[in-house]
Amino acid sequence: MEKSVKQIIAKYNTNQTRLMDILIDTQELQGFIGKEAVSDIADALNMSQADIEQTITFYHFLSTEPRGKFAIYLNDSAVAIMYGQRAIKETFEKEVGIKFGQVTNDGLIGLFNTACIGMNDQEPAAIINNRVFTKLTPYRVREIVRYMREGKNMDELINESYGDGKNHLPSLKSMVSSNIRRKGMILSDSYIYGSVTKNILPGISPEAVIAEIKHSNMRGRGGAGFPTGLKWEFCRRAKGDKHYVICNADEGEPGTFKDRVILTEKPELVFEGMALAGYAIGGDEGILYLRYEYRYMKEYLEDVLAVMRKNNVLGENIAGIEGFTFDIRIQFGAGAYVCGEESALLESLEGKRGEPRDKPPFPVEKGYLNQPTIINNVETFATAVRIIENGGEWFTQFGTEDSTGTKILSISGDCMFPGVYEVNWGFNVEDMLDMVGAYNVQAVQVGGPSGTLIGPDEFHRTLGYSDLSTGGSMIIFNKQRDLLRDVVLNFMEFFIDESCGSCSTCRNMPEVMKNKLVRILNGNGVKSDLTDLKAWGKVLLASRCGLGQTAGNPIISSLKNFRPLYEELLQKEKEFDQGFDLEASVQQSCRYVKRIPKFHLHE
C-alpha cells in the first residue's frame, strides 16, 4: 500500500478522472482527507481546492474530519430497525460513551449512521474499517468495543465467524452469508466459466452475439428493464475513439443484495459477461463500479481477475481470437445511492460528484469520458453468458413473454428464510410469500423504496415488466408493523439524505412531503393534506433522474394502497388548516426593527 498522498497520486498517474480512487485511498491511509491532503491533490491534479472539496463532501464515506481509528458505520434502514438496530445503536453509544456522528476524544472510535449496506437478510449490520459485521447483538457490540480498546486487530474482531459459500476464503474472511435459497441459471453450479469465451466466441461474430441477445428478449436486470440487445447494438453503432463496458454494481436500493451474492459466488460469470459485451460492442476496457459498502470484496475480486487473465479469458487475443483484447478494473463508489443512476455513475467514475447528467445524449453515444458506453447491471452480464451458451431461443422458455429468463430476488423483512432466490419471471407474490415462510403479511415493498408497497389484495400479481417490475428487492412487513412510522417515514428520510441536490424538486419536495407526513402522524393532518401529497408526487416527475422522480413513491404508493392508514389519523372536521398565524409570524421582525405590527386588509 502507498505510504503518502504523493505516492497515491502517482499510482493513478496524476489523472484528474481518477480523483475518486485518489480520495478513497487517501481516506483509507489517513482516516480522513485533511486540508493538507486537499491542497496536495489540488496542486498535483491542477484543480481548484473547491473542486476537490465538493467531491469529498458529496460522498458519505469520504470526510474532511478524522473518523476514528475504528470507524463504525451502522445501517439505519427500515429492515435493520425491524431487526433490533435501535438496541445495537444504544449499546454502541453507551459502551463507547459518545453519540452517533461523533468520534472519541482519543480518536479511537467513531460512530456513524449509514444507509442500507446490502445486508438486509442479516441485520442488524455495521461496517467497521471496510469489514462487515452482521447479525449484531448487544453482547457482540460490547465485545467488539472491548476488543477495540484492548488493541486487537480487525481479524481478531471478526473472530473467525465467517459466512457461508465463499465468504471463508482467505481473500474474503467475511462474516457475510450468501444465503442462497433457490438456484437458477445464474446461481447454478453447472456452468464452467470460460466455456462460452473459449468454445463459442471464436465461431461467432459480434453482430451475431447481439442478434442472439436481442432474440432472447432479455431486459436489463437493474430495474428499468431496457432491452439489453438493443443497448449493445446502439453502442456498437455509435462512433467514438473507444467503447467502454461498465458494470453497475452500486446496488444502493434498500433491500437489494443479490449483486453482492452474485459477485461473491459467481464473479467469473459476471466478468466473462463483461468481456462478452466488450466483444459485441467492440470495446477493450471494462470497469466494475462497486459500491464502497462492498469494499471488503476488493482483494477477492482482484484475485479472480488475475486468475481469469492467466487463463486467457481476459487479456490479449482472448481465446485465440486475433485482436479480441479486454480487461477489467474495479473502481469504487464512496457511499451515494444516486450513483446507481447510470449517468451519475459515469460522473463518479470520472472523479466528480455523482450528479446525473442531462439526457440526451445517452451513455451509448456519449458515456464514460464522452465515449460510447454500455452500463449494465451485474445480473445482466451474468445472464448474457448463459444466453450465448444456450441460444436466445432456449432462454425464452423461462419466464413470461414480455419478461424472459430468471430474476434473482433479494428477499428480507418478516419471513423465516430471508436471502437470495432465483425464480422465473412470472412468479406471483403469494407463492413467493409461501416460499420464504412469511405469515400474517400486511404488505410487501416491491422494488425497494422507489418501487411499490402492495397489500394482500394484490398478492395475486406477478413479477414481470408488465405487472410488478422489480430490480430484485422484496421487503415483507407483517401485521405488527406500523407501516407509516416504521417504513414510509424511514424511506422518505432515505431519499432526503440521498438527493444529489441538483433539481430543486428532488432537493426540497421529499422534505416538504415528509414534514406533511409527520404532521399527519402527530394528529394535525387535515383532508387537503392528502390531495396535496398526491399532487406533489407528480411535481417530482419534473426531476432529472429516476431517483428524483420516484423519491415521493413511499408516500404516493402507500397513500394509494393503504389510504385508511392515513385517513384514520386526520382531523375529521377540518378541510384545510396549516396552522399559519400571520400576527405571530411578523412579531420577530417587527420587534427587531422597532415597529408595532398593524394589519389592514385591503379587500
Rounded Cα–Cα distance for residues 403 and 406 (Å): 9
Q: Which is nearer to other proteins, 97 or 597 (CB)?
A: 597
Compute the least distance from the CB of residue 346 to other proteins, in Å: 17
**Inter-CA distances, 394 with 129, 200, 426, Å:** 45, 16, 17
Provide the β-strand partners of residue 419: 411
Among 10, 208, 307, 590, the residue binding other proteins under the rule CB under 8 A is 590
The contact pattern for other proteins, residues 358-387, with x = CB under 8 A and - = no contact, is x-----------------------------
**Inter-CA distances, 362 with 137, 231, 373, 497, Å:** 46, 10, 9, 27
User: How many beta carbons lie within 10 A of that of residue 319, not counting itself?
Assistant: 18
3-state secondary structure 480-522: CCCHHHHHHHHHHHHHHHHCCCCCHHHHHHHHHHHHHHHHHHC
The contact pattern for other proteins, residues 530-569, with x = CB under 8 A and - = no contact, is --x--xx-xx-xxxx-------------------------
Residue 310, CA atoms < 13 Å, CB-side half-sphere: 6
Q: Which is nearer to other proteins, 416 or 601 (CB)?
A: 601
Rounded Cα–Cα distance for residues 407 and 222 (Å): 10
- The single residue listed with the C-alpha cell 464515506 is 61
**Inter-CA distances, 443 with 124, 409, 480, Å:** 21, 17, 11
Is 1 a residue that touches other proteins (CB under 8 A)? no
Rounded Cα–Cα distance for residues 86 and 76 (Å): 9
Is 115 a residue that touches other proteins (CB under 8 A)? no
Rounded Cα–Cα distance for residues 410 and 187 (Å): 13
Q: Which is nearer to other proteins, 435 or 512 (CB)?
A: 512
Total residues interacting with other proteins, rule: CB under 8 A: 38
Q: Are 136 and 124 in contact (CB under 8 A)?
A: yes
Is 594 a residue that touches other proteins (CB under 8 A)? yes
Residues 178, 183, 186: CA angle, nearest 5 degrees: 90
Q: Which is nearer to other proteins, 324 or 566 (CB)?
A: 566
Compute the least distance from the CB of residue 467 to other proteins, in Å: 23
Cell of 98: 459518545
Compute the least distance from the CB of residue 601 to other proteins, in Å: 6
Compute the least distance from the CB of residue 510 to other proteins, in Å: 11
- 174-193 residues in contact with other proteins (CB under 8 A) are none
Only one of the segments 81-89, 343-351, 470-478, 497-505 lies at the binding site for other proteins (rule: CB under 8 A); that segment is 497-505
Cell of 91: 449499546
Candidates 445, 386, 382, 376; CA nearest to 413 is 445
Is 601 a residue that touches other proteins (CB under 8 A)? yes
Candidates 401, 460, 472; CA nearest to 434 is 460
Cβ contacts of residue 99 below 8 Å, gap of 6+?
Answer: 93, 111
Only one of the segments 297-305, 343-351, 480-488, 593-601 lies at the binding site for other proteins (rule: CB under 8 A); that segment is 593-601
Only one of the segments 85-93, 184-192, 367-375, 587-595 lies at the binding site for other proteins (rule: CB under 8 A); that segment is 587-595
Compute the least distance from the CB of residue 563 to other proteins, in Å: 20
Compute the least distance from the CB of residue 532 to other proteins, in Å: 6
Only one of the segments 23-31, 130-138, 165-173, 578-586 lies at the binding site for other proteins (rule: CB under 8 A); that segment is 578-586
Among 331, 390, 528, 571, the residue binding other proteins under the rule CB under 8 A is 528
Is 524 a residue that touches other proteins (CB under 8 A)? no
Rounded Cα–Cα distance for residues 199 and 532 (Å): 60
The contact pattern for other proteins, residues 454-493, with x = CB under 8 A and - = no contact, is ----------------------------------------
Q: Which residues bind other proteins (CB under 8 A)?
A: 358, 503-505, 508-509, 512, 528, 532, 535-536, 538-539, 541-544, 575-576, 578, 580, 582, 585-590, 592-595, 597-599, 601-603
